[in-house]
Amino acid sequence: MPTQWERVLERVDENQWRLPQSYKAGMRVPGIIFASDAMVRRIGQDQSLDQVANVAFLPGIVLASFGMPDIHWGYGFPVGGVAATRVRDGVVSPGGVGFDINCGVRLLRTSLTEEEVRPRLEELVSALFADIPTGVGAAGKLKVGVKELDKVMTQGARWAVANGYGEPDDLETTEEHGAIGGADPEAVGPRPRQRGAGQLGTLGSGNHFLEVQVVDEVFDGIVAEAMGIRLGQVTVLIHCGSRGFGHQVCEDYLRTVEPAMQRYGIQVPDRQLACVPVTSPEGRSYLAAMRCAANFAWANRQCIAHWTRESFSRVFGQDWYRLGMTMVYDVCHNIAKVEKHMVEGKRVDVCIHRKGATRSFPPGHPELPERYRRVGQPVMVPGDMGRYSFLAVGTETAMERSLGSTCHGAGRTESRGAAKRLLKGHDVQKELRRQGIVVMARGWASLAEEASIAYKDVAEVVDVCHNAGLANRVARMRPLGVIKG
């Protein structure tokens, strides 16, 4: 028997569904959901499809309100939501970026194999856990003063490299070269500064992690070779964001934006979608502060990558460069960016919100580093710590169908509280060890919240994106060791 959503959604093709504008009076564009039949049934169990419809009310929105296959209920926008508004007459919504501004992923390759790492895996994971601060409220090794923090806000990963945390080549393979322009520290209040000053270079908690992996399947050998990836190779995936700094920036601007809507005559069906015109003083100020938080996040991942290299060097007794620990790519998945996209046959400046969604630019795109210009942008799709993650590549079809966007991960099926209730009495660490996965965390709860039971199978998510042409599969990585907050 079809569910409510199966009766409402219109099938476009095997992996694409349309939520018609007629679903809610006031929708300016339809919703487009990328999902398999089985996923549609699961997605309909929370409020994320209603959120897709609500996002379609935003002034200036173009083409559609998009939902990626990892979609689930979020703040205002669903996680896995994408929407672009015209810069000239559209809006920007902090809820369309979220609290963890520039949460993203960074992939490092190594020249090591699983056979070389396995005998020292316990020692390696212990070293990483000791060297990289993790957990709620974790304080970092770096103590940055007021002037230095302003530099972090504007220079991002470039600040980290200039201060000895990495190499200039790392910036070449980081989105925006590690620092987005237009960041203005004057737009950031005192509270984000207080929260962020001690958290630079920390992994945090929740779904953030550092994972030592092995490439166990290669789908596209030509693209994998261009990215320096081969079967049996050990890689490292780092997933974290802007910590308390970005969270407080979002909180501060939600308090600014919501009352401002009345002045601009904006009405939305959910107060969590509070928004202001992109070109308004409040809109420009939010974007300037958001960019500061994005740059903080790039500096954060850069420092963590540097200490990861140091841990490997110490455990394996070799310089990190001899271990082949170079960057594949770093890409964010919680951000609003001004980009040019084709809208009704014209190239238009839009403010594109990607919340739990990753940029997926095709071969030849001018924003890609020269080394990837021929094959397209690397896209990292982390799964859960008990299964696997994927490396994919951007496509021209994504530019046409989804504003150059694709999924960002597996997507939750259970809340953190539900996962803990379901796993009560289970020793998650011991169960993962039986799979050959060494995991270290600050406590049982953080492992239970992030166990496989709480997530969709990321392979299903990636299959939909691959089949829909949003990102093509390149390789699969299986976890060997994980550190979490």
User: Could you tell me the end-to-end alpha-carbon distance of the chain, in angstroms, rounded to an integer?
Assistant: 43
Query: In this prediction, what percent of the chain has a pLDDT beyond 90?
Result: 83
Half-sphere exposure in the Cβ direction for 100 (13 Å, CA): 21
Concerning whether 466 is annotated as a catalytic residue, the answer is: no
pLDDT tens profile 113-143: 999 999 999 999 999 999 998 877 666 678 8
215 backbone dihedrals φ, ψ, rounded to 5°: -75, 110
Confidence tier at 453 by pLDDT (50, 70, 90)? confident
pLDDT for 139: 64
The span from the CA of 397 to the CA of 155, in Å, is 33
SS (H, E, C) the chain: CCCHHHHHCEEEECCEEEECHHHCCCCCCCEEEECCHHHHHHHCCCCHHHHHHHHCCCCCECCCEEEEEEEECCCCCCEEEEEEEECCCCEECHHHCCCCCCCEEEEEEEEEEHHHHHHHHHHHHHHHHHHCCCCCCCCCCCCCCHHHHHHHHHHCHHHHHHCCCCCHHHHHCEHHHHCCCCCCHHHCCHHHHHHHCCCCCCCCCCCCEEEEEEEEEECCHHHHHHCCCCCCEEEEEEEECCHHHHHHHHHHHHHHHHHHHHHCCCCCCCHHHCCEECCCHHHHHHHHHHHHHHHHHHHHHHHHHHHHHHHHHHHHCCCCCCCCCCEEEEEECEEEEEEEEEECCEEEEEEEEEECEEECCCCCCCCCCHHHCCCCCEEEECCCCCCCEEEEECCHHHHHHCCCEEECCCCECCCHHHHHHHCCCCCHHHHHHHCCCEEECCCHHHHHHCCHHHECCHHHHHHHHHHHCCCEEEEEEEEEEEEEC
Q: Which strand ranges, in their side-by-side order, compose the sheet holding 65-72?
A: 10-13, 16-19, 31-34, 65-72, 79-86, 346-355, 334-343
The span from the CA of 298 to the CA of 286, in Å, is 18
Active-site position among 365, 408, 426, 466:
408
- From 53-67, 136-150, 205-219, 389-403, the region with the lowest mean pLDDT: 136-150
Domains of the chain, CATH where assigned = 4-484 (3.90.1860.10)
Inform me whether the pLDDT recorded for 370 exceeds 50.
yes
Query: In this prediction, what percent of the chain has a pLDDT beyond 70?
Result: 98
pLDDT for 122: 97
Average pLDDT for the chain: 94
Over residues 429-453, mean pLDDT: 85
Distances (CA, A) of 196 to 180, 256, 312, 318, 332: 18, 20, 27, 33, 19
